[in-house]
Amino acid sequence: MFPKNAWYVACMPDEINDKPLGRTICNEKIAFYRGEEGRVAAVEDFCPHRGAQLSLGSVCEGKLVCGYHGLVMGCDGKTVSMPGQRVQGFPKIRSYPVIERYGFVWVWPGDAALADPAKLHHLEWAESPEWTYAGGLYHVDCDYRLMVDNLMDLTHETYVHTTSIGQKEIDESPVNTKTEGDHVITSRFMENVMPPPFWKANLRGNHLADDVPVDRWQVCHFYPPSHIMIEVGVAHAGQGGYHADPKVKVSSIVVDFLTPETETSMWYFWGMARNFNVKDTNLTAQIRDGQAKVFAEDTEVLEAQQRNLLKYPERKLLMLNIDAGGVQSRRVIDRLVAAERPEKLAA
Amino acid sequence: MFPKNAWYVACMPDEINDKPLGRTICNEKIAFYRGEEGRVAAVEDFCPHRGAQLSLGSVCEGKLVCGYHGLVMGCDGKTVSMPGQRVQGFPKIRSYPVIERYGFVWVWPGDAALADPAKLHHLEWAESPEWTYAGGLYHVDCDYRLMVDNLMDLTHETYVHTTSIGQKEIDESPVNTKTEGDHVITSRFMENVMPPPFWKANLRGNHLADDVPVDRWQVCHFYPPSHIMIEVGVAHAGQGGYHADPKVKVSSIVVDFLTPETETSMWYFWGMARNFNVKDTNLTAQIRDGQAKVFAEDTEVLEAQQRNLLKYPERKLLMLNIDAGGVQSRRVIDRLVAAERPEKLAA
Amino acid sequence: MFPKNAWYVACMPDEINDKPLGRTICNEKIAFYRGEEGRVAAVEDFCPHRGAQLSLGSVCEGKLVCGYHGLVMGCDGKTVSMPGQRVQGFPKIRSYPVIERYGFVWVWPGDAALADPAKLHHLEWAESPEWTYAGGLYHVDCDYRLMVDNLMDLTHETYVHTTSIGQKEIDESPVNTKTEGDHVITSRFMENVMPPPFWKANLRGNHLADDVPVDRWQVCHFYPPSHIMIEVGVAHAGQGGYHADPKVKVSSIVVDFLTPETETSMWYFWGMARNFNVKDTNLTAQIRDGQAKVFAEDTEVLEAQQRNLLKYPERKLLMLNIDAGGVQSRRVIDRLVAAERPEKLAA
């Protein structure tokens, strides 16, 4: 269950630099490629001639050429030409609005007429030279909403990520959740705690003492359709925490774009944006490697959870206070999906 | 089709020494672990909070701790505690009666109220210092009843196990099958035959001549729900066979616990108990390696048979005299399954 | 959708030299083996005793012996004997007409009463010392009719086989298709073109200059049920092309036997018969390796096409002039399948 009238991250720009990419998003099989002047384009991954997979073809002078019989497809889904054929009567295939921005390729899998670039989620850090970003992509066999739950309740860090970012004090600190329109925020603040290994490493990465107590924070933001940005960081204790001077803290944004593939599988674009010591590429690589391990731990837990839910579909799950972030985010999703039902769109 | 009100072998004790084990038995997803004082425990592998797989968690002070959000589960299926939560109203999950005995962990996947430890199948050899045991575990993609058929008719040894225990004289010797209550016995005696390779090796293992004729016996015992013990052995010919003096024979018990996983897959706990030269660990290892090869041969045959039966479900199979052991054992199983139907239990 | 009353290639002779072979053909699970005097035989791969897979057994004195309990199966599907059993009442299993000829084993998966060896497709080149043949076998996850389409329209060579046999002039040359009874012919002739890499190598293999223009031809022949023979070759330009003197050309026959496994999978027996430099075994190996690469390229395209068609079953495909070969071949197939419907057979 996912809204289709929304901008989702489809792929990383370098996934389509050399050749087209076939990827299923929101149950749509889509061929992504770079068209004229390198602009990204996306059409159904289905050649109107004989149903070949267009993404197995090549790009020639900005057009997607089917790798079976050379049909030339335009980025609007209309066949441009085919050797020896008149193509005016060929059926049109769907094309998908697509935008390359902020270091990602975004696609709108729903009604193209409603696709407004202004609706694209704004990412300040992606446009600022004071920030840097690195991340990766995992395919996960679970409903993307299980990942929403996961990321909007970081209590799990204590148990799932015991050797990196987990610590007992997470459990012991109250969590606060609120909803502002379609924006859900869950926050947790820990004062005067020892930093766990991941944060010790980041403190050292910013040339700060790592063996002293810190104030730690986690502020999770859910934005539709399923983008989750988590402000995280630690500051030397008693210096203002979240608001402390940059000289005594390390802070960053955990970036999670959750893109449904099918009802029970998803593409997980994960990474971290940071604004300290941004030119240290070794530090960047170290953070990315650490995150890769952390998110692989989540993947194992969520895929097992998905199998359990498929085996016992009738069981009700609990909704505790710690689950409020996921619950409220799912309500936003439910509302968006309901608004896309035919009778709603006609109204 | 399997009775659920019965003790099945669930796992080997060392499978749960370091961490919990998730295993499906009779279609039930179960988490096995060592609770207080190392006592085995078993609960549904489904956290009542969000459906996570409990067996991915850890054991802390004898309690199973969910690896997602730290819910602490008691061995009775009641939530003990959860950080920051009142758990009294949490739904109970199932717990399963479980016993560690005879070097195995046993589970009762049916109605816990009916689970009587006295109903556990008694294994004399497992408690005697004059015997030793070694074995292994295979996952087999077939209905466990195909394995019952297989083990209650050893005619197949001639064809499936040609290089180890098979010999032409098996075919040529009559088989006798009888049922005593729920206990089915199939026996075959061969006189004055040359021992096949597996038995030659055992004769040598017991410091007996291996190049002389022997009397060989096979007495297969089926006990509910699906335990099969096969008395096997050879004695130098003319010395009394099955009843010969231990000094002129080698005898042992092939131990087969067949535990259904689903309708078409099973856990196969196989091994051999012997009472000759029991301290010779090299001999023990050699026998286990030989059995591993033999039972892998069965597995290939039975998985192919299962695929055939699934493709042609309407076909009737033959029930010959050699199949009597399997046929009579299946009748016992049918009777036990029928007795578990709701209307029977209510009566 | 495939006719069953037809001779299909079942396997290569050496696939059954050492032991039986189990293979599904037209949805029938069949055990192939060498019976008396090495003659090929084929019966259902289902033992009438307990449903074991007969092809896992062995051949003893020309009879197939079940590897489970030693049932001896005759090549007519009647049980010959079984140790200790009377077998007269055993149910008969199907046997399949089978012929070894032309270096292939052929099977008739339909009504045995209609199997006429005279209906076997005649292969002149297979009986002539002036020709040699080499080939291979691929399992392909697609409806065999997608492969018919592929082979009856070689336009795709330009796009799928860019580094071996593809060249732009294929596209630019008109194609001619005609049907003579159940025989469909699609032909294309290119004049005064440079030979692509595969043909350069063949020219050199026949001690001819490879850096001069050639006339190139492709004449595709579809014969029921799904045999496709493609006359291909190049001659030095202006010497008569297809009809040129053998001293200035290289010509051969691409041999494609398409045998359905299920509705959406097939066995692809591919190869090349040639009548130049036939004793050069290095050349033979080089051609076979080249073809292996070419047909692997087709396989990738067709399996992706099949997945697309399964996901979007309601979509109509285009039938262009270049598709005429496939379209007309499918009409022949449709007619043969229709003729096999019960009401037709009864008429």
Per-residue pLDDT 10s for chain C (347 aa) are 999 999 999 999 999 999 999 999 999 999 999 999 999 999 999 999 999 999 999 999 999 999 999 999 999 999 999 998 999 999 999 999 999 999 999 999 999 999 999 999 999 999 999 999 999 999 999 999 999 999 999 999 999 999 999 999 998 899 999 999 999 999 999 999 999 999 999 999 999 999 999 999 999 999 999 999 999 999 999 999 999 999 999 999 999 999 999 999 999 999 999 999 999 999 999 999 999 999 999 999 999 999 999 999 999 999 998 899 999 999 999 999 999 987 766 55
For A279, other C-beta atoms within 10 Å of its C-beta total 7
Could you tell me which residues come within 8 angstroms of residue C277 by beta carbon, excluding any fewer than 6 positions away?
C205, C206, C207, C283
Mutate to test the interface with A, among B50, B65, B261 (most CBs of A within 10 A): B50
Q: With CB atoms and an 8 Å threshold, state whether A70 touches C158.
A: yes
Looking at the complex, does the CB of residue B45 fall below 8 Å from at least one CB of chain A?
yes
Q: What is the pLDDT of residue A277?
A: 93
Write the single-letter amino acid at B252: S
Q: What is the pLDDT of residues B213-264, one digit of tens each?
A: 999 999 999 999 999 999 999 999 999 999 999 999 999 999 999 999 999 9
Going by pLDDT thresholds of 50, 70 and 90, the confidence category of residue B347 is low
Per-residue CA distances from A173 to A158, A178, A216, B68 (Å): 12, 17, 11, 17
Question: H or E segment at C202?
Answer: helix C197-205
Contact A172 B29 (CB under 8 A): no
Task: Report phi then psi at B319, rounded to 5.
Answer: -125, 95
CA atoms of B191 and B118, how far apart (whole Å): 39
Q: Are A42 and A32 in contact (CB under 8 A)?
A: yes
B311 to C67: CB separation less than 8 angstroms, yes or no: no
Contact A233, A250 (CB under 8 A): yes
Counted across chains A and C, CB pairs separated by less than 8 A come out at 69
Would an 8 Å CB–CB cutoff place A176 in contact with chain B?
no
Going by pLDDT thresholds of 50, 70 and 90, the confidence category of residue B342 is confident
Q: Does C304 touch chain A (CB under 8 A)?
A: yes
- Among residues 120-139 of chain B, which lie with CB inside 8 Å of chain C? none
Render pLDDT for A15-56 as a digit per residue (tens, 0 to 9).
Answer: 999 999 999 999 999 999 999 999 999 999 999 999 999 999
- Confidence at residue C326, expressed as pLDDT on a 0 to 100 scale: 96
The Cα–Cα gap between C232 and C256 comes to 13
Query: Beta partners for C8?
Result: C107
Tens-digit pLDDT profile for residues A74-99: 999 999 999 989 999 999 999 999 99
CA distances from A61 to A35, A58, A72, A81 (A): 8, 10, 10, 13
**Confidence at residue B171, expressed as pLDDT on a 0 to 100 scale:** 87
Q: Does A318 touch chain B (CB under 8 A)?
A: yes
Report the half-sphere exposure of A284 (CA within 13 A, side-chain side): 14
Residue B245: how many other CB atoms lie within 10 Å: 10
Q: How many angstroms separate the Cα of C132 from the Cα of each of C235, C279, C283, C287, C288?
A: 20, 8, 11, 12, 12
Do the bridges between strand C28-34 and strand A104-107 make them parallel or antiparallel, or are there none, so unpaired? unpaired
For chain A, give me the number of helices (H) and strands (E)?
7, 17
Q: How far is it, in rounded angstroms, from Cα A203 to Cα A250?
A: 6
User: How far is the alpha carbon of C46 from chain B, nearest alpha carbon, in Å?
Assistant: 7
Closest chain C residue to A67 measured between Cα atoms?
A: C159
Interchain pair A53, C309: CB under 8 A: no
The pLDDT of residue B87 is above 90? yes
Strand partners, C55: none
The two structure tokens encoding residue C31: 């055990």
Query: In the predicted model, what is the mean pLDDT of chain B?
Result: 95
Indicate the DSSP class of residue A226.
T
Find, in chain B, the residue whose alpha carbon is nearest to that of C22.
Answer: B304
Which residues of chain B are within 8 Å of residue C48 when distances are taken between CB atoms? 318
**Option in A46, A67, A90 nearest C318 (CB):** A90
User: Do strands B132-140 and B265-274 pair parallel, antiparallel, or not at all (unpaired)?
Assistant: antiparallel
Q: Which residue has the tokens 């002078």?
A: A61
Can you read off the two tokens belonging to residue A291? 């995150």
What does the pLDDT average to over A247-261?
A: 97
How confident is the model over B158-169, as pLDDT tens digits? 999 999 999 999
In Å, how far is C313's CA from the nearest CA of chain B?
25
Q: State how beta strands B249-262 and A40-44 pair.
A: unpaired
Identity of the residue numbered C261: E
Q: Hey, is the C-beta of B163 within 8 angstroms of any chain C C-beta?
A: no
**Nearest 5°: CA angle at C154, between C152 and C159?**
140
- Collapsed DSSP state (helix, strand, coil) of residue A166: coil
A49 in contact with C, Cβ within 8 Å? yes
Chain B residues within 8 A of A172 when measuring between CB atoms: 83-84
Produce one character per residue of B246-256: b if its CB has 16 or more CB atoms within 10 Å, e if not: eebbbbbbbbb
Q: Do B67 and A171 touch (CB under 8 A)?
A: no
By CB atoms closer than 10 A (0-12, 13-18, 19+), residue B236 is buried
Given an 8 Å threshold on Cβ–Cβ distance, is A46 in contact with C301? Answer: no
- Residues of chain A with Cβ-Cβ distance to B50 below 8 Å are 149, 305, 317-318, 323
- Residue B87 is given by DSSP the state -
Q: Is A305 on the interface with B (CB under 8 A)?
A: yes
CB A184 within 8 A of CB A177: yes
Supply the pLDDT for residue A346.
Answer: 58
Q: Which residues of A touch B84 (CB under 8 A)?
A: 171-172, 174, 321-322
Domains of chain B: 8-118 (2.102.10.10), 122-339 (3.90.380.10)
The secondary structure element, H or E, covering residue B63 is strand B63-65
Residue A347 has pLDDT above 60, yes or no: no
**pLDDT at position B345, please?**
61
Q: Could you tell me if B195 lies within 8 Å of chain A, comparing CB atoms?
A: no
- Residues A102/A85, Cβ–Cβ less than 8 Å: no
Q: How confident is the model at residue B343, as a pLDDT?
A: 72
What's the mean per-residue pLDDT of chain A? Answer: 95
Instruction: Tell me the C-alpha distance between C109 and C111, whole Å.
Output: 7
